[in-house]
């Protein structure tokens, strides 16, 4: 079970770090296809990208280093809320294409939160 949670954490961390990077530094490319990225301020997407990027790092480092491992499920909870917020923005602006990606991230994060707080704490 622990291996499953580590695999999920690594996958989610990779998605968060890559997604956060794109939201912060490649927003122009995302704005071509996603209406909410064009409509909302660049600084908002920069902040959301930074939150995702940092939370992705905190999914791995604290548990891997053995320092404050409780930060890992907290980071997963932040990602779940973050992803649901982004889903709401996509729905409001009528963006359907990126919705499954964000919903999948929220679901994976919720599994990690439940698993790390209840089933197999670090």
- Angle subtended at Cα 72 by Cα 115 and Cα 100, rounded to the nearest 5 degrees: 70
For 18-34, the pLDDT digits (tens) are: 999 999 998 888 888 88
**CA trace torsion 15, 17, 23, 24 (10° rounding):** -170
How does DSSP classify residue 97? T
**Could you tell me if 14 and 8 are in contact, meaning their C-beta atoms sit under 8 angstroms apart?**
no
**Cα gap 30→9, rounded to integer Å:** 25
> Which pLDDT score is estimated for 121?
76
**Model confidence band, residue 7 (pLDDT cutoffs 50, 70, 90):** very high
pLDDT tens digits, one per residue of 54-90: 999 999 999 899 899 899 999 999 999 999 999 999 9
pTM comes to 0.91
């Amino acid at each position: 079970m622990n291996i499953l949670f580590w695999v999920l954490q690594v996958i989610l961390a990779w998605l968060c770090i890559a997604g956060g990077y794109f939201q912060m530094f490649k927003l122009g490319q995302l704005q071509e296809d996603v209406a909410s990225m064009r409509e909302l301020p660049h600084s908002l997407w920069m902040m959301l990208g930074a939150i995702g990027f940092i939370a992705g790092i905190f999914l791995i480092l604290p548990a891997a280093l053995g320092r404050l491992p409780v930060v890992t499920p907290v980071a997963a909870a932040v990602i779940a809320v973050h992803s649901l917020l982004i889903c709401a923005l996509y729905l409001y602006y009528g963006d359907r294409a990126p919705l499954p990606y964000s919903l999948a991230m929220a679901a994976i994060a919720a599994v990690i939160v439940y698993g790390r707080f209840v089933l197999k704490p670090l």
